[in-house]
Amino acid sequence: SLVEPSPPPSQPPSMPCRLPLAPSPPCVADAVKNFLAVLLASELTVTVGVPQLSPLQLQACAHALLQAVNAVPSPEGFRAPDGMKVTRAFGLSLLSAPGHWEAVVSTSLRREGAIEGLGCFLHAFGRSFVDGVVEPHEVELGELVWAADFSVALHERGSRRRVRAQEHAGSARAAAAASGRSTEHAHDELRHLVQAQLGAH
């Protein structure tokens, strides 16, 4: 589980209560695994700007990213427990700390030995949690990469896409039907006009 900064202690409730446990958000290492799964299994690979790399190349990019996260000094308040890597102890809150993601990217790109597509890989991963104006596909990417349960998020994404496809098909059928009715009405009007003209002669 993630080691996130703890909130101030509060007084326990007077009556015991049992609440369902919420799934923990993914650590950085798990989020990178989710990102790899998305790139390997969907059309989002091209959409987010990552070139068509082989699985081994994508794994090399992911390894370079995780190495850099562990190498860059963590911001204040993000100290991993002894024996635990930073990428296993913290998640999105770490990468979102001011200036930290930029330092990770810089460290990744300065490593010895060029890795094809690494710059695009880092840019696309960063867009999964960037603040500000984002594209719809980047929102969808972030929902998958930083999902508490990747399988559930993937299933929900598939369900939404099927619903959109059905709605689009229904709209297309309605438009075709309306067009057919309009064409039939125009033919009727033309037929009546021709008959009227013929009757006048």
Q: Give 24-65 pLDDT, tens digit per residue.
A: 689 999 999 999 998 887 655 556 677 788 889 999 999 999
Check residue 171 and give its pLDDT.
66
On the CB side of 42, CA atoms within 13 Å amount to 19
Q: Do 36 and 59 contact (CB within 8 A), yes or no? A: yes
pLDDT digits (tens, 9 = 90+) for 145-181: 999 888 887 767 566 656 656 676 666 666 666 665 6
Check residue 10 and give its pLDDT.
55
For residue 121, give the nearest of 27, 196, 197, 58 by alpha carbon.
Answer: 58
Q: How many Å apart are CA 30 and CA 147, to the nearest integer?
A: 10
Average pLDDT over residues 67-96: 94
The three-point CA angle 24-29-34 to 5° equals 80
Check residue 136 and give its pLDDT.
82
Report CA 185 to chain centroid distance, whole Å.
47
Reported pTM: 0.67
Average pLDDT over residues 63-72: 96
130 — pLDDT class (breaks 50, 70, 90): confident
